[in-house]
């Protein structure tokens, strides 16, 4: 493929990764025409409307700036594939729910369907870029499907995993720690990697763009997510020990994080990690290790997920225990349903597990989230007939007449609530369970709340003083 022929870039998959990534490319590379397609027509229509389908700080501004200039959302997958010489594949790769590898392996049906669409509609050679997170060696399978075409077309497959974090996606894309481009070490593979690198050099310093072999690139993404999640599970496991020993997990994580070999980031304790990626990517890593007979390695990484589930169960058990071993018909205000602040995404959010456990205990659950209420309703659709589940448009109404407040997402607005007023409207004794450790616990205790958080035994701390 000759570089100056490249005019149109296509992204298949208009989700949390595909659209922000293409928006940032469009913003930095005005000479390229960028098209984003999706099999979900409603999503494409929403991207073309004033009401965007996802919330991501800064994204709306770029969309408004670039849409219908050099960024297009199209329902016409066939024509878009024909037109583009570079195709990013950014479809979802969830955990398989059936058959071999169910509950562990990646479900690659969407990737394969995309490959089959490409060979169906392509009329010339193309560069196909894996943006989705994929098991190591997927590029080989993708390449074989693409080359099963009977038109004599050639496809170079690159791996270019995305490291953005939801909530800070635009900043992460504008200022990435690194950009990874994996290719076959053939002449055409290396040439293709350079073509992709030249797109990124429009705004990313060259030294941050790493060219690797395909398999290193695919595996690095899984390992990066596994290591990030491992840090969360590590500190969460220690939070349980802190509660038993009267140590304070924040003091411990601060002290540990000051060691420059360890570093301070991603050492905040919480009710557990969520999001669409961590759990599925670790389980995928575990599955691959088992496939290669590396059972000890698989067990090691699986423990990260087990601790995450343990932390969520532990949190709910503490709520029940502290509230006199019963929450039947007690109104419990769940503040925050998104898996983290600054996103409306609720995929694998700990709030889902916590809410379902409370509903099983027959609590009356009152949910409020500034951006995630519609997704929360979908996640809890099985309970939509329940008289014990209610959604609110503001925190104050969710809190009124409740026995307890549970903070499950670290939204800034929860830090700024009028807790004096909240206390006045709540049943007594009034409990707060801070699952993100973001509130002012001493102040809340002084207001009269019975306060619990993670990794600190607030009552015992006071007794010891
Ligand atoms: N969300 C994140 O924070 C994040 C970060 C880094 C990497 N990733 C990875 O990126 C990939 C995409 O994640 P996401 O969060 O954007 O998913 P998403 O579910 O938000 O978006 C995927 C989109 O692909 C579309 N799609 C699926 N099959 C299709 C097909 N055959 N043709 C056209 N469209 C199709 C779906 O309709 C959906 O809109 C995943 O592999 C994920 O692991 C996600």
Same fold, 3-204 and 214-465: yes
Atom number of ligand 1 nearest to Cα 166: 3
pLDDT computed for residue 458 by the predictor: 84
pLDDT computed for residue 459 by the predictor: 75
The CATH homologous superfamily to which domain 214-465 belongs is NAD(P)-binding Rossmann-like Domain (3.40.50.720)
Q: 207 CA to middle of ligand 1, Å?
A: 28
Q: 122 CA to middle of ligand 1, Å?
A: 22
Element (H, E) at 158: strand 155-159
The predicted-structure confidence for 122-140, as pLDDT tens digits, reads as follows 999 999 999 999 999 899 9
What average pLDDT does the segment 240-250 reach?
97
Residue 4's pLDDT band (boundaries 50, 70, 90)? low
pTM of structure: 0.94
Flag whether pLDDT at 241 surpasses 50. Answer: yes
Q: 104 CA to middle of ligand 1, Å?
A: 18
Closest CA to 147 of 173, 184, 176: 184
Domain ranges for the chain = 3-204, 214-465
For ligand 1, say whether the CB of 114 is within 6 Å of any of its atoms. Answer: yes
pLDDT computed for residue 44 by the predictor: 98
pLDDT computed for residue 465 by the predictor: 46
The predicted-structure confidence for 387-402, as pLDDT tens digits, reads as follows 999 999 999 999 999 9
Atom number of ligand 1 nearest to Cα 16: 16
Mean pLDDT of the chain: 96
- % of the chain with per-residue pLDDT over 90: 96
CA distance linking residue 324 with residue 129, whole number of Å? 55
The predicted-structure confidence for 171-226, as pLDDT tens digits, reads as follows 999 999 999 999 999 999 999 999 999 999 999 999 999 999 999 999 999 999 99
Q: 332 CA to middle of ligand 1, Å?
A: 34
Residue 265 · residue 259 · CB < 8 Å: no
| Residue of the CA atom closest to atom 20 of ligand 1 | 15
Q: Is 29 a catalytic residue?
A: no
Atom number of ligand 1 nearest to Cα 113: 31
What average pLDDT does the segment 241-259 reach?
97
- CA contacts within 13 A on the Cβ side of 465: 6
- % of the chain with per-residue pLDDT over 70: 97
pLDDT computed for residue 120 by the predictor: 97
Flag whether pLDDT at 270 surpasses 80. Answer: yes
Structure tokens at 350: 């700990």
Atom number of ligand 1 nearest to Cα 225: 6
Fold of 3-204: Rossmann fold (3.40.50)
Residue 7's pLDDT band (boundaries 50, 70, 90)? confident
- DSSP of 30-54: TTSEEEEE-S-HHHHHHHTSSS-SS
* Paired residues of 406 in beta bridges: 334, 433
For ligand 1, say whether the CB of 16 is within 6 Å of any of its atoms. Answer: yes
Q: 132 CA to middle of ligand 1, Å?
A: 7
Q: 133 CA to middle of ligand 1, Å?
A: 9
Terminus-to-terminus CA distance in the chain, angstroms? 72
Which member of 242, 277, 289, 436 is catalytic?
277
Phi-psi region of 19 (alpha: psi -120 to 50; beta: other; left: phi over 0): alpha
For ligand 1, say whether the CB of 344 is within 6 Å of any of its atoms. Answer: no
* Paired residues of 130 in beta bridges: 89, 159
Out of 276, 340, 342, 347, mutate this one to test ligand 1's pocket (max ligand atoms within 8 Å of CB): namely 276
For ligand 1, say whether the CB of 269 is within 6 Å of any of its atoms. Answer: no
In terms of DSSP bridges, do strands 71-74 and 179-183 run parallel, antiparallel, or are they unpaired? unpaired
pLDDT computed for residue 28 by the predictor: 98
For ligand 1, say whether the CB of 39 is within 6 Å of any of its atoms. Answer: yes
Show the CA angle centred on residue 217, arms to residues 216 and 218, nearest 5°.
95
Q: Please report where in the chains the tokens 């900043």 appear, as a residue.
A: 171
Out of 277, 281, 378, mutate this one to test ligand 1's pocket (max ligand atoms within 8 Å of CB): namely 277
Flag whether pLDDT at 3 surpasses 90. Answer: no
């Amino acid at each position: 493929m000759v570089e100056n022929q490249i005019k149109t870039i296509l992204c298949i998959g208009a989700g949390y990764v595909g659209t922000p990534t293409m928006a940032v490319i469009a913003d930095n590379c005005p000479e390229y025409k960028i098209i984003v397609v999706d099999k979900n027509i409603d999503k494409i229509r929403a991207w073309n409307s004033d009401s965007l389908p996802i919330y991501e700080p800064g994204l709306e501004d770029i969309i408004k700036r670039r849409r219908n200039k050099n960024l297009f959302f199209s329902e016409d997958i066939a024509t878009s594939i024909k037109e583009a010489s570079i195709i990013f594949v950014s479809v979802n790769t969830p955990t398989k729910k059936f058959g071999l590898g169910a509950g562990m392996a990646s479900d690659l049906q969407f990737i394969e369907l995309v490959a089959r669409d490409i060979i169906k509609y392509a009329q010339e050679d193309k560069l196909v870029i894996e943006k989705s997170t994929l098991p190591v060696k997927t590029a080989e399978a993708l390449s074989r499907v693409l080359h099963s075409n009977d038109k004599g077309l050639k496809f170079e497959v690159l791996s270019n995993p995305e490291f953005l974090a939801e909530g800070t996606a635009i900043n992460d894309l504008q200022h990435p720690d690194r950009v990874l481009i994996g290719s076959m070490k053939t002449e055409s593979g290396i040439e293709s990697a350079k073509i992709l690198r030249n797109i990124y050099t429009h705004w990313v310093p060259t030294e941050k763009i790493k060219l690797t072999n395909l398999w290193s690139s695919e595996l690095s993404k899984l390992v990066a997510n596994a290591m990030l999640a491992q840090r969360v599970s590590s500190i969460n496991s220690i939070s349980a020990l802190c509660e038993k020993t009267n140590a304070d997990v924040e003091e411990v994580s601060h002290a540990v994080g000051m060691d420059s070999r360890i570093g301070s980031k991603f050492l905040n304790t919480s009710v557990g990690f969520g999001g669409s990626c961590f759990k599925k990517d670790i389980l995928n890593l575990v599955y691959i290790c088992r496939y290669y007979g590396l059972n000890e390695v698989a067990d090691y990484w699986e423990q990260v997920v087990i601790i995450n589930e343990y932390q969520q169960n532990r949190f709910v058990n503490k709520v029940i225990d502290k509230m006199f071993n019963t929450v039947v018909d007690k109104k419990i205000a769940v503040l925050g349903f998104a898996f983290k602040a600054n996103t409306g995404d609720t995929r694998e959010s700990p709030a889902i597990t916590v809410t379902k456990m409370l509903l099983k205990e027959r609590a009356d659950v009152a949910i409020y989230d500034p951006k995630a209420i519609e997704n929360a309703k979908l996640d809890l659709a099985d309970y939509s007939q329940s008289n014990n589940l209610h959604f609110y448009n503001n925190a104050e109404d969710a809190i009124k007449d409740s026995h307890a407040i549970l903070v499950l997402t670290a939204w800034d607005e929860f830090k700024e609530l009028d807790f004096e007023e909240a206390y006045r409207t709540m049943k007594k004794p009034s409990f707060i369970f801070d699952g993100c450790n973001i509130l002012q616990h001493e102040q809340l205790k002084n207001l009269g709340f019975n306060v619990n958080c993670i990794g600190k035994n607030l009552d015992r701390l006071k007794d010891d003083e």
